[in-house]
Chains A and B, each alone.
Chain A
Amino acid sequence: MIQLPNSFGQFRDRETLARSQVLQRSWPIVLDLCVAGIGLACFYGVVQLARYWFGHPMPQITISLSPRALPRYAFYSIVRIWLAYALSLVFAIGYGYTAAYNRRVEALMIAGLDILQSIPVLSFLPGVMLAMVALFPSRQIGVEMGAIILIFTGQVWNMAFSFYSSLKSIPRELREAATIYRFSPWQRLVELELPYSAIGLVWNSMVSVAGGWFFLMACEMFVLGSRDFRLPGLGSYLQTAASTGNAEAIVWGLFTMIAIIVATDQLLWRPIIAWSDKFKFEQVETTSRVRSPLLHLLQHSRGLQSLRNHTVGPIAETIYQRLAENRRRIAALPAPNEASRRRHERWNSIVRAVALIVVVASVLYAAFHALSLLREIQRSEFFEIIVGALATFLRVNTALLLASAWTIPAGVAIGFHPRLARIAQPLAQIAASVPATALFPVVLIALVRIGGGLGIGSILLMMLGTQWYILFNVIAGAMAIPTDLREAATLFHFTTTQRWKTLILPGIFPYLLTGLVTASGGAWNASIIAEYFRLKNQTMQTVGLGAVISAATDSGKFQILLLATIVMAGMVVTINRLVWRPLYRLAETRYKVEA
């Protein structure tokens, strides 16, 4: 599910930085309420649109299981992923930039990010799909847009966060240099802000695209009430193959999936990582670097060079000259007199106040209506949600525990033995790179065959996607334990227990924590598809919050969907704040191994 470069440890710093910034902030409850209000309002809008358009015809698409259809399906899926990624990148940069430079909205926007990250994306699925189909009735593009927007909501937040926290951590003197030499905002973005945040963005892009595959597999084919949404793609191919029990097609599908991911890694991420090396903000050159022959080729290509010189070069020059001219013209203008300036300011504040009132009023109105939906919920349904929440809570934590039980020893062994790492790491990366949702149908069929229920099976499914986060973080943590500490432990003949208690566990603690936080979020999200599954016209489900959400989606009960989503987001946010945040603080202060 995730692919990690060998230089993972270097990236991790930025990543934790981003995370820790969220955790250290303490927002007043008001902000959270604002965010919740806006979220409810959006939900209401989407549902209204969806209800209005419900019932338009949709063309039926059949998924061919022939391997020959696979390239076309793979192509469709890839296009969806990258469109969503492009959208995410633009949005993330805009969002991060606005948050970092607008004091007024900064706190609200960052609180919003924190909560949006915790909302299970898959519960947006019905709303988004219906709305999109409604916008483009009887056309495939509606479903396509729905899928793209859904992937977008799954991958954008961590990128926005990374960009924001990079902007915030630009060294003061670099900023001052840009100011004193009169960089225009454009030049500042191109020569300071984007380069400085490049590494964080690249790393988060890799995570995001991997996450995108996860969601794409889930949303290419799903049922909503009596309606069957289908998109030709790898995900629908795999699901159809699994539900018809076509083993050959399953193998072909998985093979294509792995091939795509390995190719993306080699042809795209590696060159990009090698290229982004120059954006590393460091004083000395490191010896170990990711190399990419492809990048070398591109950089030394004469044709590309001259293409660049004739297109990008002149355009950039024109922009810079225009900007400088503008600035000179503005400087030449006489300073506005005090009275007109004050009048202008007064107008501005009036406009701003009116806009604020309108926004607040409409948010309140829509949030109120969304909440009034909740009144339709019956007591028994409410009960079901609470029991489901408890069950899923237990399941998520069991999954984390089981995953930790094998990944911690394995990760430490790999981290401590470079030779083992050389063999195990690429294998683990490939295993991790297959989106868990692609494997779900296959694993489920196997489970049914051996007679296991979904109650236990869903734990396995959650682990499938999330264990890798823990494994890779533990490997990085074990590698980061200084050799002299390990030597000291050997020298003093530490017993195995003592070794684990005084050296290894405290040493990997901050890394393990990062892994667990990510895994926990992932497991909650996965519960939506793991606890409820439709196979060959039969529905498998177990007690759980995810099952409640999926079932509500299935039967179109929006009030239950809304409440269950609120409960899930609330639980994830609460756990983050009550459990992970204090632990992070502990990790930052006490278990930090400083060189």
Chain B
Amino acid sequence: MQQVIIRAEQVEKYYAQPSENRIQVISPTDLSISEGEIVALLGPSGSGKSTLLRMLTGLSTPSAGQVYWHEKPVGNAEVNVAIVFQSFALFPWLTVAENVEAPLKAKGLDPTERRKRALKMLDTVGLDGFQAAYPKELSGGMRQRVGFARALVVEPEVLFMDEPFSALDVLTAENLRSELLELWQNKTIPTRAIFIVTHNIEEAVLLADRIIVLGRNPGHVRTDFKVALAHPRERKAAAFTQLVDYIYKVLTQPEAKPPALPLTPEGKPVRDQRQMHYQMLPHARPGGIAGLLEILLDHNGKDDIYRLADDLAFEIDDLLPIVDAGQLLGFLKVTEGDAVITPTGAEYANSEILRQKELFRIAAVENVLLLRQIVRAIEAKSDKTVPEEFFHDMLDEQFSEDETLRQLETAINWGRYAELFDFDASRRRFIQPQNERESAAAAEIEA
């Protein structure tokens, strides 16, 4: 049994709301990082990956639960970790060498020793000769190398990485990944464990000895498994693609839900009253949904989501919201990691723009509670306008402030597209769509 370095016990994160409601970001979670492993944390956006990373490093305190560093609470322990950031987080006013030296300065090392170690580490990451340059003179890949050098120079026991390659182009990322792996396997660095947060499934399968997949609303562990593939891993190998496919299945599989409700006499499903809380609208644009459906139609109405992502060079954060939106609107179904177009979806994809809007309108009112409420509220008011604030306050009970704003933005976007309503951005009010306003005015004149 390998030694556990960091162990999180029932950690959770929530934000208390003024009402007794609270917004749960991460539900109680157990997690550990052991010596000698690379752990990858995968998850869609909004699953709290970064929050979890920050709790494990001690940067952020869990709302409940405890994180242990060698079995001592992190608050009281001398934690020896480093983080490589997505945005590099280099100090632009310090040279490359000064950036790498900064953590050593904080440790109180004398200047000669500091300089020696920094130069050695810059040499290790392949930045020999760049010590006097400023970060802004370097390319993205080089900057992240500085980020690595700064992290490794403190000889961390656990190296944390927060989407370290996502701001880089594909080739640079590939190059850096393999170099990191080389350093790790040759034991050039004294680091004993690596924890990487990513939304790139292939990256996780390429690097990790263990993969943890998070689900969202609130964040929770969906699966945690070991990867037994030998290095170097071959992307085209069957075992590799099977793993990638498996992760896609986990990510797209709906979580345990009650069985479907019976249909009404008209053949419509009975509305589930228990679900009167708002669904989380996926942040996809109608154009994206239409595009995906058309591609599905070209692929005979059914395709592997993994293959779709690969063909489109999309990462999961790009593709999953669109798939979710299609599913929410009843335009497609996901089974076993495959996206299957439904008859309405097929009709939608084949129609011209006005008919598409009509289909979208029907599907949206049928399936999206928020849009339905907005439309009803506008109809009910005598002046046919409703302030945005009204819905903001209702959503606020359920989502964080940022998420509430994004939900409203998506709802406005969908509603405008479907001509369900219009939105007056300067007054922040929902109003009747243009054509209805005109017909109402015409009716008044006739009367």
Complex contacts, B316 vs chain A, CB 8 Å: none
Complex contacts, A284 vs chain B, CB 8 Å: 136
Digitize A402-427: 1 where CB-to-B-CB distance is under 8 Å, 0 elsewhere. 00000000000000000000000000
B93 and A278 form a contact (CB under 8 A): yes
Complex contacts, B54 vs chain A, CB 8 Å: 176
Write the nearest CB–CB distance from B389 to chain A, whole angstroms: 15
Complex contacts, B57 vs chain A, CB 8 Å: 180
A195 to B135, alpha carbons, bound, how many Å? Answer: 15
A331 to B72, alpha carbons, bound, how many Å? Answer: 14
A174-B89, A285-B136, A331-B78 known; 15 other A-B pairs, CB under 8 Å? A171-B87, A173-B86, A176-B59, A177-B83, A177-B91, A179-B59, A180-B57, A180-B81, A181-B106, A181-B150, A182-B107, A278-B134, A323-B108, A324-B106, A586-B426
Cross-interface CB contact of A181 among B92, B103, B111, cutoff 8 Å: B103
Q: Does B323 contact A (CB under 8 A)?
A: no
A320 to B137, alpha carbons, bound, how many Å? Answer: 28
B107 and A324 form a contact (CB under 8 A): yes
Digitize A307-343: 1 where CB-to-B-CB distance is under 8 Å, 0 elsewhere. 0000001000100111111001001000100000000
B87 and A180 form a contact (CB under 8 A): no
Complex contacts, A484 vs chain B, CB 8 Å: none
Q: Does B213 contact A (CB under 8 A)?
A: no
Cross-interface CB contact of B108 among A283, A320, A590, cutoff 8 Å: A320
B93 and A195 form a contact (CB under 8 A): yes
Q: What are 7 A-to-B residue pairs whose CB atoms are below 8 Å?
A: A176-B54, A177-B150, A191-B94, A192-B91, A279-B92, A285-B137, A589-B426
Digitize B191-230: 1 where CB-to-A-CB distance is under 8 Å, 0 elsewhere. 0000000000000000000000000000000000000000
B60-87: which have CB < 8 Å to A? 76, 78, 81-83, 85-87
Q: Does A76 contact B (CB under 8 A)?
A: no
Complex contacts, B81 vs chain A, CB 8 Å: 180
A325 and B106 form a contact (CB under 8 A): no
Cross-interface CB contact of B106 among A183, A198, A278, A586, cutoff 8 Å: A183
A residues contacting B by CB (< 8 A) are: 171, 173-174, 176-177, 179-184, 187, 191-192, 195, 198, 278-285, 313, 317, 320-325, 328, 331, 335, 586, 589-590
Write the nearest CB–CB distance from A318 to chain B, whole angstroms: 10
Complex contacts, A331 vs chain B, CB 8 Å: 78
A173 and B89 form a contact (CB under 8 A): yes
B85 and A281 form a contact (CB under 8 A): no
Digitize B100-126: 1 where CB-to-A-CB distance is under 8 Å, 0 elsewhere. 001101111011000000000000000
Write the nearest CB–CB distance from B246 to chain A, whole angstroms: 32
B83 and A176 form a contact (CB under 8 A): yes
A284 to B92, alpha carbons, bound, how many Å? Answer: 10
Q: Does B154 contact A (CB under 8 A)?
A: yes
A192 to B83, alpha carbons, bound, how many Å? Answer: 17
Complex contacts, A176 vs chain B, CB 8 Å: 54, 59, 83, 85, 89
Write the nearest CB–CB distance from A142 to chain B, whole angstroms: 42
Q: Does B425 contact A (CB under 8 A)?
A: yes
B102 and A321 form a contact (CB under 8 A): no
Complex contacts, A191 vs chain B, CB 8 Å: 91, 94, 102
Q: A180-B59, A317-B111, A321-B110 are in contact. Are A171 and B89 (CB under 8 A)?
A: yes
A-B interface, 3 closest residue pairs, ranked by CB to CB distance from nearest: A324-B108, A181-B103, A173-B89
Complex contacts, A174 vs chain B, CB 8 Å: 89, 91
A192 to B54, alpha carbons, bound, how many Å? Answer: 20
A279 and B136 form a contact (CB under 8 A): no
Write the nearest CB–CB distance from B151 to chain A, whole angstroms: 9
A184 to B105, alpha carbons, bound, how many Å? Answer: 10
Q: A176-B83, A283-B136, A590-B426 are in contact. Are A182 and B106 (CB under 8 A)?
A: yes
A184 to B106, alpha carbons, bound, how many Å? Answer: 7
Please classify how large the interface on chain B is, using the bins under 10, 10 to 19, 20 to 34, 35 or more: 20 to 34
Write the nearest CB–CB distance from A279 to chain B, whole angstroms: 5
Q: Which of A278, A280, A282, A331 has the most CB of B within 10 A?
A: A278
B95, closest chain A residue (CB): A278
Write the nearest CB–CB distance from B250 to chain A, whole angstroms: 29
Write the nearest CB–CB distance from A181 to chain B, whole angstroms: 4
A187 and B87 form a contact (CB under 8 A): no
A314, closest chain B residue (CB): B111
Write the nearest CB–CB distance from A368 to chain B, whole angstroms: 36
Write the nearest CB–CB distance from B245 to chain A, whole angstroms: 33
A198 to B103, alpha carbons, bound, how many Å? Answer: 22
Write the nearest CB–CB distance from B193 to chain A, whole angstroms: 16
A138 to B105, alpha carbons, bound, how many Å? Answer: 52
A325 to B107, alpha carbons, bound, how many Å? Answer: 8
Write the nearest CB–CB distance from A188 to chain B, whole angstroms: 9
B425 and A187 form a contact (CB under 8 A): no
Write the nearest CB–CB distance from A312 to chain B, whole angstroms: 13
Complex contacts, A181 vs chain B, CB 8 Å: 82, 102-103, 106, 150, 154
B105 and A320 form a contact (CB under 8 A): yes
Complex contacts, A325 vs chain B, CB 8 Å: 108
Complex contacts, A335 vs chain B, CB 8 Å: 76
A328 to B108, alpha carbons, bound, how many Å? Answer: 10
B93 and A279 form a contact (CB under 8 A): yes
A184 to B57, alpha carbons, bound, how many Å? Answer: 18
Write the nearest CB–CB distance from B231 to chain A, whole angstroms: 28
A195 and B91 form a contact (CB under 8 A): yes
Complex contacts, A589 vs chain B, CB 8 Å: 425-426
Complex contacts, B105 vs chain A, CB 8 Å: 187, 320
Complex contacts, B78 vs chain A, CB 8 Å: 331
Cross-interface CB contact of A183 among B76, B89, B102, B134, cutoff 8 Å: B102
A182 and B93 form a contact (CB under 8 A): no
A331 to B86, alpha carbons, bound, how many Å? Answer: 30
B153, closest chain A residue (CB): A181
Cross-interface CB contact of B110 among A195, A278, A317, cutoff 8 Å: A317
Complex contacts, B150 vs chain A, CB 8 Å: 177, 181
A322 to B108, alpha carbons, bound, how many Å? Answer: 7
Complex contacts, B107 vs chain A, CB 8 Å: 182, 324
Cross-interface CB contact of B136 among A282, A322, A328, cutoff 8 Å: A282
Write the nearest CB–CB distance from A43 to chain B, whole angstroms: 38
B85 and A187 form a contact (CB under 8 A): no
B92, closest chain A residue (CB): A281
A192 to B91, alpha carbons, bound, how many Å? Answer: 7
Complex contacts, B425 vs chain A, CB 8 Å: 589-590
Complex contacts, B94 vs chain A, CB 8 Å: 191
Q: Which of A181, A284, A331 has the most CB of B within 10 A?
A: A181
A282 and B92 form a contact (CB under 8 A): yes
Complex contacts, B108 vs chain A, CB 8 Å: 320-325, 328
B60, closest chain A residue (CB): A176
A322 to B76, alpha carbons, bound, how many Å? Answer: 22
A586 to B427, alpha carbons, bound, how many Å? Answer: 10
Complex contacts, B137 vs chain A, CB 8 Å: 285
Complex contacts, A328 vs chain B, CB 8 Å: 108
Write the nearest CB–CB distance from B392 to chain A, whole angstroms: 16
Complex contacts, B83 vs chain A, CB 8 Å: 176-177, 180
